Amino acid sequence: MKNPLISIAESVHASIPKTGIIMKQLAELGPDAYSTPSEPLNYIKALIESQADAGADYIAVNVDAFGESQPKLAVDMMLEYIGLVKRWGKGVPICIDSSNNDVLIAGLKQWCKNSESLKPPLVNSIKVYTMDALLPLKKDYDYSFIALLVSEDKPTGPGGSHSVEELYSLAEQIFVEAVEKYGFRPEQIFFDSTVFPLAIDMPMEPEVPGYTYRAFETIKKIKSNPKFKGVHCSLGVSNSVRDLPARKIGVCRAYVAKAMEYGLDAAIVNVAHNYGLKDPDPQLMELVDAYAKMDGSGEKMDTAMKLMGKFCQQNRKPSG
């Protein structure tokens, strides 16, 4: 059965503790590390192959953790990992994932180099304040991209965060620029309205909607407008369960299912869990639904807080 969700596999990410350790060990093996057999290289090979076998539509690679003090190292590592995905990804295209434009540009050029038979990559991410540096690359390289809906301008929405209208406006700006100026097709654009952890999605002021509400309502607003026909909406789902005591896979499954009701059709996920195919636990759906509806009213917030309290009480690990 074909998964209705476009799955962007997240496992080759240096911020994942075990993966980051292996990536570091591999890098320390020297200039031939990525071509000479070794235990760390075998681990990365198995990781890439397993994601392709699990049905990933893209295999994301993020090495930003290595570039915090040495930006060039992140560029060099991304080039090496692009080679590994080409070798072992079984034809699945890469998602070049970085907050560093230099890494994105170098990675895009490397993937497209002598790769006529490979599918176009996905670039994550482009923002309104970086699009002038990245969108013009479409002239020479065919690619899709994730548009992260954030702005350098101070948000003016309730509680000092971006409102649904502001997030939607950012999507409009990127869409018009990408399609009308640079010739991207709508289906090459993935909008990301940002996941916020459910455990701390608690507005500190009255009449302030929750982050989950804003993320989901932005997706609905984009996908219900005919002028955006063909675009995708994607979220980094694992962020939703940060700081929860247990049942993280189950909550992610419910989060994806609920977001798909609003129009989500792509996600950065652990592809082994088949999000989008397996039915979620009804109790966990109720929990996520409460956050999706937390529009700023005291009643909706109270419902969400009670359900989260009940969830934590039921799943708290015993002390001692």
- CATH number of the structural domain spanning residue 116: 3.20.20.20
DSSP code string of 215-238: HHHHHHHHHTSGGGTT-EEEEEGG
Helix (H) or strand (E) holding 211: helix 211-223
What pTM, to 2 d.p., does this model score? Answer: 0.95
In a domain, 104, yes or no: yes
Q: Does some domain include residue 305?
A: yes
- Provide the number of structural domains found in the chain: 1
Ranges under pLDDT 70 in the chain:
1, 318-320
Q: Please tell me the predicted confidence (pLDDT) of residue 320.
A: 47
**Residue 249 domain boundaries:** 6-315
Is 176 part of a structural domain of the chain?
yes
Token reading at 56: 């990933």
Q: For 8-24, what is each residue's pLDDT tens digit?
A: 999 999 999 999 999 99
Sign (positive/negative) of CA torsion 140, 141, 143, 147?
A: negative
pLDDT (tens digit, 9 = 90+) per residue, 232-248?
A: 999 999 999 999 999 99
In a domain, 320, yes or no: no
1 falls within a domain: no
Tokens of 184: 């991207």
